[in-house]
């Protein structure tokens, strides 16, 4: 299974996905695309001898025009699966629809709770005693695609957003490679807006 990873920054999830790739699982990361030239994840990819592309936005460019260039870059890698791992851009409907059923994202909350940004602070402010991460298929509506797998962490009374983020990140690194592996094994799909694992609705 040819996996393409899209990043904007640190790329710790990218690293986890690389570390679990072939021969441990039946997928390989064939490319990494970043919208930021200084993303540390690009160095991680280079260290693993993975091809990279940087698609920076041009000032004044529309989302649709950027996404046209992004789609061309994506198609260059002929991926079977596109993995969003901290890719900090909202994608146009045209792009999402083109790759529907073959694009995954990890979101740092227990969806449907806390969509959008600053999820760790939101969990603290809401007084949640549980927080976590969700891997989901991407659909046009932001952070709303069917969830495949979640991992929970406790929220402690004296938690800061930083401490909580670190706890959640660790869980992301465990669940994201697992979901990628399921997809690569042909066990996971999205049908009629629902995620299916081994034919069972999740």
Give the residue numbers of the binding site.
11-13, 63, 88-91, 105
**Cβ of residue 85: shortest distance to ligand GRF, in angstroms?**
5
Q: Considering the complex, state which of residue 29 and residue 106 has its C-beta at the smaller distance from ligand GRF.
A: 106
- Binding residue (CB under 6 A) for ligand GRF from 31, 86, 132, 146: 86
Total residues interacting with ligand GRF, rule: CB under 6 A: 15
Start-to-end CA span in the chain (Å): 22
Residue 107 appears among annotated catalytic residues: yes
Q: How far apart, in Å, are the Cα atoms of 14 and each of 69, 114, 173?
A: 22, 23, 9
Indicate if the alpha-carbon torsion angle 51, 180, 86, 191 is positive or negative.
Answer: positive
Q: How far is the CB of 147 from ligand GRF (least distance, A)?
A: 13
DSSP secondary structure string, 102-137?
SEEEEESSSTTSS-SS-HHHHHHHTT-SEEEEEEEE
Say if residues 42 and 34 touch (Cβ distance below 8 Å): yes
- Identify the active-site residue in 20, 22, 107, 120: 107
**Nearest to residue 83, comparing CAs of 198, 179, 199?**
179
How far, rounded to the nearest angstrom, does the alpha carbon of residue 49 sit from its chain's CA centroid? 21
How far apart CA 110 and CA 101 sit, in angstroms, is: 21
Site for ligand GRF in 105-124 (CB under 6 A): 106-108
Identify whether 80 is preceded by a cis peptide bond (ω within 30 of 0). Answer: no
DSSP, res 5? E
Q: Which stretch binds ligand GRF (CB under 6 A): 6-14, 21-29, 62-70, 142-150?
A: 6-14
Q: Does 11 bind ligand GRF (CB under 6 A)?
A: yes
Of 12-20, 124-132, 144-152, 180-188, the window that binds ligand GRF (rule: CB under 6 A) is 12-20
Shortest gap between Cβ of 191 and ligand GRF (angstroms)? 25
* Residue from 6, 9, 92, 179 in contact with ligand GRF (CB under 6 A): 9
Restricting to residues 170-189, name those near ligand GRF by CB under 6 A. 172
Choose the binding region for ligand GRF from 11-19, 55-63, 91-99, 155-163 (rule: CB under 6 A). 11-19
Residues contributing to the site for ligand GRF (CB under 6 A): 7, 9-14, 85-86, 106-108, 133, 169, 172
Active site residues: 107
């Amino acid at each position: 299974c040819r996996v393409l990873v899209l990043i904007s920054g640190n790329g710790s999830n990218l690293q986890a996905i690389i570390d679990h790739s072939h021969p441990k699982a039946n997928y390989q990361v064939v490319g990494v695309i970043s919208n930021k030239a200084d993303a540390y994840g690009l160095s991680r990819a280079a260290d693993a001898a993975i091809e990279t592309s940087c698609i920076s936005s041009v000032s004044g460019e529309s989302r649709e025009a950027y996404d046209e260039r992004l789609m061309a870059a994506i198609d260059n890698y002929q991926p079977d699966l596109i993995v969003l791992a901290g890719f900090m851009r909202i994608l146009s409907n045209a792009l999402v629809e083109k790759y529907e059923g073959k694009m995954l994202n990890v979101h740092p909350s227990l969806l449907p709770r806390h969509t959008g940004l600053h999820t760790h602070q939101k969990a603290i402010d809401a007084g949640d005693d549980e927080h976590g991460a969700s891997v989901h298929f991407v659909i046009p509506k932001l952070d709303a695609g069917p969830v495949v797998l979640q991992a929970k962490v406790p929220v402690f009374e004296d938690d800061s957003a930083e401490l909580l983020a670190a706890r959640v990140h660790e869980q992301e690194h465990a669940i994201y490679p697992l979901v990628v592996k399921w997809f690569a094994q042909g066990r996971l799909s999205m049908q009629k807006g629902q995620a299916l694992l081994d034919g069972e609705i999740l």
